[in-house]
Amino acid sequence: MPFRIGLQEQATLGWYLLKWLLLGTALGLVVGSACALFLWSLEIVTTTRLQQPVLLYFLPLSGAAIAGLYMAIGKAVEGGNNLIVEEIHEPGGGVPLRMAPLILICTVITHLFGGSAGREGTAVQMGGSLASGLARLFPWLPRQDVRLLLMAGVAAGFGGVFGTPVAGAIFAMEVLIIGRMDSAALVPCLIAAIVSDQVCLAWGIGHTQYHIASVLGSSSPNLHLAPLSLSMLGKVALAGLLFGLTSLLFAELTHGLGHLFKTGIRNAIVRPVLGGLAVIGLVWMTGTRDYLGLGVSSPDPGAVTIVNCFQSGGANTWSWLLKLIFTAVTLASGFKGGEVTPLFFIGAALGNTLAMLLGAPVDLFAALGFLAVFAGATNTPLACTLMGIELFGSEYTAYFATACTLAYLFSGHSGIYLSQRIGTPKHGGELLDQPENLREARKLRPTPFSGPQTTVEISRKEQ
């Protein structure tokens, strides 16, 4: 066979790379700077809240202010992450640019007064909003390029806020459709995520460092992979299953409470007021403030935090469940922020507990829970496995992949993003009634008190 090189094809690929180097770099610069501002603001308000405990009692009023802001100028962006996902699936009017400052301000307010929320959702919304704004500067961009630019915005937001650009790029590709990935987005997403991460670092913003030491041991300095054993894999597999069920519980509790708030309380301003009062009540009932805010670290060495969950005794048996409840109440009632950092906390705390029960390394199982609960709740096992490599090192890749895959499987067709489409069912077969996305799949599932509903029954209830 003669040796052939398609010069025209190579020229086309070169232009494609140059185009996305320019667009991706511009987007990464803007989103990375926004992420740096956001993380800097979070650090300030978290420190302020810890120094001024009385701020918690203003949480209900802050919730009313957030709801009022969204009623006044944010009705078009209330969909949040789901709006970004829907716009990527079917580009239309674009994502309003005001989503970025609005979600940033409201997330900072939530954290200042003690709401249990995260930061990923905010970063993704900022990235998608800024990407849509950039697309408007180039009205001649084809529809497919606008779609790729929005995906790159998601990647830039994720990569910048967590310091994991490769995971951010894969997350933006994997989160849209369960079981399918658009490889055409790899170049734009990777460029934007790497630039965003580096810009964030250039602004002097650092990220929490984690370390797993117990599996490798000090006697094998040249060992590049943690030793695999059937007994350890079995423990990891069991933990992965439980992590997946926890992801399912978190998603369903958050969606279920959100439905109750919306149907039971018609006034949108009253919902976060009651949610804020509920969070204050939970603090009073538990006798601790460890489950407020991000929960990454604390000046109190005895507090339950993500960092402390990597140490023996760093979490109580039910710390994971308490954080889950605090977060579900906060987000379901209308406060703003992401779900992912609380998912890290929930997973790390559950991993800590399971390690003690199974006789496994605490730091390893905290890391597995950190990743796998997130993987199950977002249906992104590949991105979470790569995140594990970026955060904890490549020595534990097999364990990361096992836990994330099983969590993804056993979380079922559920998740925190209801606009996420179902491309390939997790069990490899076909789903009854073939729901297009997780929102439809959730409606088709039976409740604990009734049998499964048919499509006809659902449509009648919605009319």
pLDDT at 149: 96
Say if residue 175 is in the same domain as residue 243: no
Q: Which tens digit of pLDDT belongs to each residue from 352-402? A: 999 999 999 999 999 999 999 999 999 999 999 999 999 999 999 999 999
Q: Is the pLDDT confidence value at 212 over 50? A: yes
Say if residue 197 is in the same domain as residue 283: no
pLDDT band at residue 454 under the 50/70/90 scheme: very low
Contacts of 228 (CB under 8 A, 6+ apart): 398
Radius of gyration of the chain (CA): 22
Across 422-434, average pLDDT: 78
Say if residue 247 is in the same domain as residue 336: yes
Contact (CB, 8 A) for 125 and 103: yes
pLDDT at 105: 96
Mean pLDDT of the chain: 91
Say if residue 49 is in the same domain as residue 120: yes
pLDDT at 461: 38
Structure tokens at 296: 């990454």
Whether 210 maps to a domain, the answer reads no
pLDDT at 219: 46
Contacts of 187 (CB under 8 A, 6+ apart): 16, 17, 20, 24
State how far the Cα of 196 lies from the Cα of 33, in Å rounded to an integer.
7
pLDDT at 225: 66
pTM for the full predicted model: 0.92
Whether 243 maps to a domain, the answer reads yes
Q: Is the pLDDT confidence value at 451 over 50? A: no
Across 422-435, average pLDDT: 79
pLDDT at 112: 97
Across 1-27, average pLDDT: 86
Say if residue 241 is in the same domain as residue 116: no
Whether 401 maps to a domain, the answer reads yes
For CA atoms 436, 444, 95, 21, give the dihedral sign: negative
Say if residue 394 is in the same domain as residue 305: yes
Q: Is the pLDDT confidence value at 462 over 50? A: no
Whether 207 maps to a domain, the answer reads no
Say if residue 358 is in the same domain as residue 294: yes
When divided into structural domains, the chain yields a total of: 3
Give the CATH number of the domain where residue 133 resides.
Answer: 1.10.3080.10
Q: What's the distance, CA 227 to chain centroid? A: 30
Q: Which tens digit of pLDDT belongs to each residue from 284-294? A: 999 999 999 99
Whether 166 maps to a domain, the answer reads yes
Say if residue 33 is in the same domain as residue 134: yes
Whether 138 maps to a domain, the answer reads yes
pLDDT at 450: 45
One DSSP character per residue, 291-347 reads: TSS--S--SSTTS--TTGGGSTTSS-TTHHHHHHHHHHHHHHTT----SHHHHHHHH
Say if residue 262 is in the same domain as residue 160: no
Q: Is the pLDDT confidence value at 459 over 70? A: no
Say if residue 186 is in the same domain as residue 263: no
For CA atoms 69, 71, 75, 80, give the dihedral sign: positive
DSSP for residue 178:
E
Q: Is the pLDDT confidence value at 341 over 90? A: yes
Classify burial at 461, counting beta carbons within 10 Å of its beta carbon; exposed 0-12, middle 13-18, buried 19 or more: exposed
Say if residue 444 is in the same domain as residue 371: no
Residue with tokens 């991460």: 197
pLDDT band at residue 216 under the 50/70/90 scheme: low
One DSSP character per residue, 99-144 reads: HHHHHHHHHHHHHHTT----SHHHHHHHHHHHHHHHHHT-TTS-HH
Q: Which tens digit of pLDDT belongs to each residue from 63-108? A: 999 999 999 998 888 888 898 999 898 877 678 889 999 999 999 9
Across 195-223, average pLDDT: 77
Q: Which tens digit of pLDDT belongs to each residue from 28-62? A: 999 999 999 999 999 999 999 999 999 999 999 99
Say if residue 401 is in the same domain as residue 434: no
H or E segment to which residue 387 belongs: helix 381-392
Expressed as residue numbers, the domain containing 166 is 15-202
Whether 345 maps to a domain, the answer reads yes
Whether 208 maps to a domain, the answer reads no
Q: Is the pLDDT confidence value at 263 over 80? A: yes
